[in-house]
Amino acid sequence: MTAPVRTQGSPETRGSPETRGSQELIRAEEPVLAHNYHPLPVVVARAEGTWVEDVEGRRYLDLLAGYSALNFGHRHPALVEAAHRQLDRLTLTSRAFHHDRLAEFAERLAALTGLDMVLPMNTGAEAVESAVKVARKWAYDVKGVPDGRATIVVAADNFHGRTTTIVSFSTDETARQGFGPFTPGFRIVPYNDLTALEAAVDETTAAVLIEPIQGEAGVIIPDDGYLTGVRELTRRKGCLFIADEIQSGLGRTGGTLAVEHESVVPDVVLLGKALGGGIVPVSAVVARREVLAVLRPGEHGSTFGGNPLAAAVGTAVVELLETGEFQQRATELGATLRDGLTELVGKGVVGFRSRGLWAGVDIDPALGTGREVSERLMREGVLVKDTHGSTIRLAPPLTITSEELVEALATLERVLR
């Protein structure tokens, strides 16, 4: 028998991750990973709370929190304990059978959001795709839209995921180019423009799908009254209001949901990211009973959606939010963040938008791109991520202390000098 050929990256020749340095590990990714990301050159090996540590032992304050997936910090003790407990009992049944964790998860999540029913899924994009299907089914079965003619109205500069259907209604050419043909049935209007929205909604409209705050676009916050207007318009026109709270929800903005800042209750809320506590991917479509009741067995599903491990962790996340502690922290520390950024305007920052512990910060282009500023901050021990040219996003864990936040803002001031 001929011996297998040993290549440079084969298991026989490479060291274990514990013995390889950051640069070696980054180089090792190049030939074997699709290049669909451009991460900062830091290789994280350990994390606790608001801090991460790379393979060389350097520590960094995490001000990105996994794009809000780590709202409760890295390895929150209550969430880790819930996962350990469930790992010792049951991890997966598929939805072919019932299991003992799903009812509590759905009951408590519905109560937390003020809605009735839950469709558990895994990723944020799956939640959005599920909502698109549900809205169309509702339009045909309940509203009476002729089959195949349902439309969904979305906002320009949106970010709802990266599946083929979702990029069909993106206005980001990087997300679209080379991935057509695109799925029809969507109308795009400017964000924060009720007049344009009114003109786009007609008798074929199944739903209006928007982010209460556009995260990927740079934490774009609509005018006061916009969400209230969307709610009033969709009721009057007889279509659904779907709020994508995958990044903005679960405490990030100071409320359980961002729509709460205008006391709005959508027909459908999409959740993900933080719902999995930074441990497992968990997402959900949470909606009025009339909406989710259109689904019948066999029409939609997911092998891992609502699995016992996900339900156990998701329930523990809901339990953390039921106390209101994290929403209050986001409100109070959000004031510290806002005040600190206000002090930096004119000192390298040309503008910013913030709500709770979430901010989009526009850097003076003369001082560098968002990527360059992110790399400078990384070298100073603070991790953020850029978006759209010279904008960086700040979304620290809700567990961050006031002292840590103030120090991070001081570091930003230093790198902009």
- pLDDT tens by residue, 84-96: 999 999 999 999 9
pLDDT grade for 17, boundaries at 50, 70 and 90: low
Q: How far apart are CA 319 and CA 104, in angstroms?
A: 11
pLDDT at residue 97, as a whole number: 97
Q: What is the mean pLDDT of residues 269-278?
A: 98
pLDDT at residue 369, as a whole number: 96
DSSP string of 72-125? T-BT-HHHHHHHHHHHTT-----TTS--TTHHHHHHHHHHHHT-SEEEEESSHH
Q: Is 142's pLDDT higher than 80?
A: yes
Phi-psi category of residue 261: left, alpha or beta, with phi > 0 → left and psi -120 to 50 → alpha: alpha
Instruction: Please state the φ and ψ torsions of residue 401, each to the nearest 5 degrees.
Output: -90, 160
Sign of CA dihedral 72, 77, 78, 79: positive
- Cα torsion at 299, 143, 111, 277 (round to 10°)? 50
Question: pLDDT (tens digit, 9 = 90+) per residue, 105-114?
Answer: 999 999 999 9
Helix axes 308-322, 102-113, angle to 10 degrees: 30
Q: Is 10's pLDDT higher than 60?
A: no
pLDDT at residue 15, as a whole number: 58
Catalytic sites, residue numbers: 159, 244, 273
Cis? peptide before 397, omega within 30° of 0: no
Is residue 255 a part of any domain in this protein? Answer: yes
Q: What is the mean pLDDT of residues 258-275?
A: 98
On whether the CB atoms of residues 375 and 410 are closer than 8 A, the answer is no
Q: Is 118's pLDDT higher than 70?
A: yes
Q: Which residues contact 165 (CB under 8 A, 6 or more apart)?
A: 129, 132, 183
Q: How far apart are CA 415 and CA 417, in angstroms?
A: 6
Lowest average pLDDT, out of 12-26, 131-145, 213-227, goes to 12-26
On whether the CB atoms of residues 330 and 190 are closer than 8 A, the answer is no
Q: Is 401's pLDDT higher than 90?
A: yes
Q: Is 313's pLDDT higher than 50?
A: yes
Is residue 230 a part of any domain in this protein? Answer: yes
Instruction: Please state the φ and ψ torsions of residue 393, each to the nearest 5 degrees.
Output: -110, 140
User: How many Å separate Cα 47 from the centre of its chain?
Assistant: 20
Q: Is 70's pLDDT higher than 60?
A: yes
Is residue 245 a part of any domain in this protein? Answer: yes
Beta-strand relationship, 382-383 and 205-210:
unpaired
Q: How far apart are CA 61 and CA 47, in angstroms?
A: 10
**Count of other CB atoms within 10 angstroms of residue 197:** 23
Q: How would you label 91-107 residue by residue, b for 16+ Cβ within 10 Å and e otherwise? A: bebebeeebebbeebbe
The DSSP output letter for 214 is B
Q: Is 3's pLDDT higher than 50?
A: no
Q: What is the mean pLDDT of residues 292-321?
A: 98
pLDDT at residue 56, as a whole number: 96
pLDDT grade for 11, boundaries at 50, 70 and 90: very low
Is residue 334 a part of any domain in this protein? Answer: no
pLDDT at residue 195, as a whole number: 98
Q: How many structural domains are present in the chain?
A: 1
Is residue 164 a part of any domain in this protein? Answer: yes
Q: Is 314's pLDDT higher than 80?
A: yes
The domain that holds 96 is classified in CATH as 3.40.640.10
Q: How far apart are CA 123 and CA 129, in angstroms?
A: 10
**Count of other CB atoms within 10 angstroms of residue 378:** 18
Q: Report the percentage of the chain scoring pLDDT > 90.
A: 95
Is residue 366 a part of any domain in this protein? Answer: no
On whether the CB atoms of residues 53 and 44 are closer than 8 A, the answer is yes
Is residue 332 a part of any domain in this protein? Answer: no
pLDDT at residue 65, as a whole number: 98
Q: How far apart are CA 311 and CA 100, in angstroms?
A: 9
pLDDT grade for 16, boundaries at 50, 70 and 90: low
Mean confidence (pLDDT) of the chain = 95
pLDDT grade for 19, boundaries at 50, 70 and 90: confident
Regarding pTM above 0.85, the answer is yes
pLDDT grade for 388, boundaries at 50, 70 and 90: confident
Is residue 88 a part of any domain in this protein? Answer: yes
Beta-strand relationship, 268-271 and 240-244:
parallel
Query: Containing domain of residue 116, as a range?
Result: 77-322
Q: Is 14's pLDDT higher than 50?
A: yes
On whether the CB atoms of residues 363 and 386 are closer than 8 A, the answer is no
